[in-house]
Structure 1
Amino acid sequence: MGNEALKLELIEWLAQLDDEDTIQYLKVVKDSASEKDWWPNLTPEQRAGIERGLQDIDQDKVTSHEEVKKLFGL
Protein backbone atom coordinates (compact mmCIF):
# COMPACT_ATOMS: atom_id res chain seq x y z
CA MET A 1 0.00 0.00 0.00
CA GLY A 2 1.41 3.37 -0.97
CA ASN A 3 1.64 6.34 1.36
CA GLU A 4 -1.29 8.15 -0.22
CA ALA A 5 -3.60 5.15 0.20
CA LEU A 6 -2.40 4.69 3.77
CA LYS A 7 -3.05 8.36 4.55
CA LEU A 8 -6.59 8.09 3.21
CA GLU A 9 -7.18 4.94 5.26
CA LEU A 10 -5.96 6.72 8.39
CA ILE A 11 -8.08 9.81 7.67
CA GLU A 12 -11.19 7.64 7.32
CA TRP A 13 -10.36 5.78 10.54
CA LEU A 14 -9.66 9.01 12.44
CA ALA A 15 -12.91 10.61 11.24
CA GLN A 16 -14.87 7.76 12.85
CA LEU A 17 -12.75 7.51 16.01
CA ASP A 18 -14.61 8.19 19.28
CA ASP A 19 -11.99 7.09 21.82
CA GLU A 20 -10.90 10.29 23.61
CA ASP A 21 -7.67 8.74 24.94
CA THR A 22 -6.57 7.67 21.47
CA ILE A 23 -7.43 11.06 20.03
CA GLN A 24 -5.39 12.83 22.72
CA TYR A 25 -2.49 10.40 22.19
CA LEU A 26 -2.51 11.10 18.45
CA LYS A 27 -2.47 14.84 19.17
CA VAL A 28 0.64 14.39 21.32
CA VAL A 29 2.28 12.38 18.52
CA LYS A 30 1.40 15.06 15.97
CA ASP A 31 2.61 17.91 18.16
CA SER A 32 5.85 16.19 19.11
CA ALA A 33 6.64 15.43 15.48
CA SER A 34 6.46 19.12 14.59
CA GLU A 35 8.63 20.31 17.48
CA LYS A 36 12.37 20.30 16.99
CA ASP A 37 13.44 20.57 20.64
CA TRP A 38 11.25 18.92 23.28
CA TRP A 39 13.65 19.52 26.20
CA PRO A 40 12.11 22.90 27.21
CA ASN A 41 8.69 21.23 27.50
CA LEU A 42 9.86 18.70 30.11
CA THR A 43 9.21 19.18 33.79
CA PRO A 44 12.20 19.66 36.10
CA GLU A 45 11.60 16.14 37.43
CA GLN A 46 11.67 14.66 33.92
CA ARG A 47 14.89 16.51 33.10
CA ALA A 48 16.49 15.34 36.35
CA GLY A 49 15.51 11.73 35.58
CA ILE A 50 17.08 11.90 32.14
CA GLU A 51 20.22 13.46 33.55
CA ARG A 52 20.46 10.70 36.20
CA GLY A 53 20.12 8.11 33.47
CA LEU A 54 22.88 9.73 31.42
CA GLN A 55 25.13 9.79 34.50
CA ASP A 56 24.43 6.09 35.04
CA ILE A 57 25.51 5.39 31.47
CA ASP A 58 28.68 7.45 31.94
CA GLN A 59 29.47 5.48 35.12
CA ASP A 60 28.70 2.15 33.43
CA LYS A 61 25.78 1.51 35.79
CA VAL A 62 23.71 -0.20 33.16
CA THR A 63 22.11 -3.58 32.55
CA SER A 64 21.91 -4.93 29.03
CA HIS A 65 18.63 -5.83 27.43
CA GLU A 66 19.76 -9.45 27.23
CA GLU A 67 20.52 -9.54 30.98
CA VAL A 68 17.08 -8.12 31.81
CA LYS A 69 15.41 -10.69 29.57
CA LYS A 70 17.28 -13.50 31.34
CA LEU A 71 16.37 -12.07 34.73
CA PHE A 72 12.68 -12.17 33.86
CA GLY A 73 12.83 -15.47 31.95
CA LEU A 74 12.14 -13.98 28.56
Structure 2
Amino acid sequence: MDIQSEKLDLIQWLAELDDLRMIKLVSSLKLSNELREEPLPAKLKSGLDEAIQNIEDDKTFSHEDVKNQAKKKFPELFK
Protein backbone atom coordinates (compact mmCIF):
# COMPACT_ATOMS: atom_id res chain seq x y z
CA MET A 1 0.00 0.00 0.00
CA ASP A 2 1.46 3.40 -0.94
CA ILE A 3 1.58 6.38 1.42
CA GLN A 4 -1.45 8.13 -0.11
CA SER A 5 -3.57 5.01 0.32
CA GLU A 6 -2.35 4.65 3.91
CA LYS A 7 -3.30 8.26 4.67
CA LEU A 8 -6.74 7.91 3.11
CA ASP A 9 -7.30 4.70 5.05
CA LEU A 10 -6.36 6.47 8.30
CA ILE A 11 -8.61 9.44 7.48
CA GLN A 12 -11.55 7.14 6.87
CA TRP A 13 -10.84 5.15 10.04
CA LEU A 14 -10.57 8.35 12.10
CA ALA A 15 -13.78 9.77 10.61
CA GLU A 16 -15.69 6.67 11.71
CA LEU A 17 -14.04 6.42 15.14
CA ASP A 18 -16.34 6.84 18.16
CA ASP A 19 -13.82 6.05 20.90
CA LEU A 20 -13.01 9.38 22.62
CA ARG A 21 -9.96 7.87 24.34
CA MET A 22 -8.52 6.80 20.98
CA ILE A 23 -9.27 10.22 19.44
CA LYS A 24 -7.43 11.91 22.33
CA LEU A 25 -4.53 9.53 21.83
CA VAL A 26 -4.33 10.39 18.11
CA SER A 27 -4.59 14.11 18.96
CA SER A 28 -1.74 13.75 21.43
CA LEU A 29 0.35 11.99 18.78
CA LYS A 30 -0.41 14.81 16.33
CA LEU A 31 0.58 17.46 18.88
CA SER A 32 3.84 15.74 19.79
CA ASN A 33 4.67 15.47 16.09
CA GLU A 34 3.93 19.17 15.57
CA LEU A 35 6.15 20.11 18.50
CA ARG A 36 8.92 17.89 17.16
CA GLU A 37 8.85 19.40 13.68
CA GLU A 38 11.01 22.34 14.69
CA PRO A 39 14.40 21.67 13.14
CA LEU A 40 17.21 20.76 15.49
CA PRO A 41 20.06 23.23 15.80
CA ALA A 42 22.93 22.22 13.49
CA LYS A 43 25.33 21.63 16.40
CA LEU A 44 22.86 19.33 18.16
CA LYS A 45 22.07 17.45 14.95
CA SER A 46 25.76 16.90 14.15
CA GLY A 47 26.35 15.69 17.72
CA LEU A 48 23.47 13.23 17.45
CA ASP A 49 24.70 12.03 14.05
CA GLU A 50 28.18 11.48 15.51
CA ALA A 51 26.74 9.58 18.49
CA ILE A 52 24.66 7.34 16.23
CA GLN A 53 27.71 6.66 14.06
CA ASN A 54 29.76 5.76 17.15
CA ILE A 55 27.05 3.31 18.23
CA GLU A 56 26.95 1.75 14.77
CA ASP A 57 30.78 1.49 14.75
CA ASP A 58 30.71 -0.10 18.23
CA LYS A 59 32.74 2.79 19.67
CA THR A 60 30.91 2.90 22.98
CA PHE A 61 31.62 2.05 26.62
CA SER A 62 29.44 -0.05 28.87
CA HIS A 63 28.05 1.42 32.06
CA GLU A 64 30.30 -0.93 34.05
CA ASP A 65 33.41 0.26 32.15
CA VAL A 66 32.58 3.90 32.86
CA LYS A 67 31.95 3.15 36.55
CA ASN A 68 35.27 1.32 36.86
CA GLN A 69 37.16 4.13 35.13
CA ALA A 70 35.54 6.69 37.43
CA LYS A 71 36.42 4.62 40.51
CA LYS A 72 40.06 4.46 39.41
CA LYS A 73 40.25 8.17 38.62
CA PHE A 74 38.25 9.41 41.63
CA PRO A 75 38.51 6.72 44.34
CA GLU A 76 37.67 9.23 47.07
CA LEU A 77 34.16 9.56 45.65
CA PHE A 78 33.42 5.84 46.03
CA LYS A 79 34.03 5.25 49.74
Q: What TM-score does the superposition give when structure 1 sets the normalisation length? A: 0.48
Max radius of gyration: which structure?
A: 2
Q: What TM-score does the superposition give when structure 2 sets the normalisation length? A: 0.45
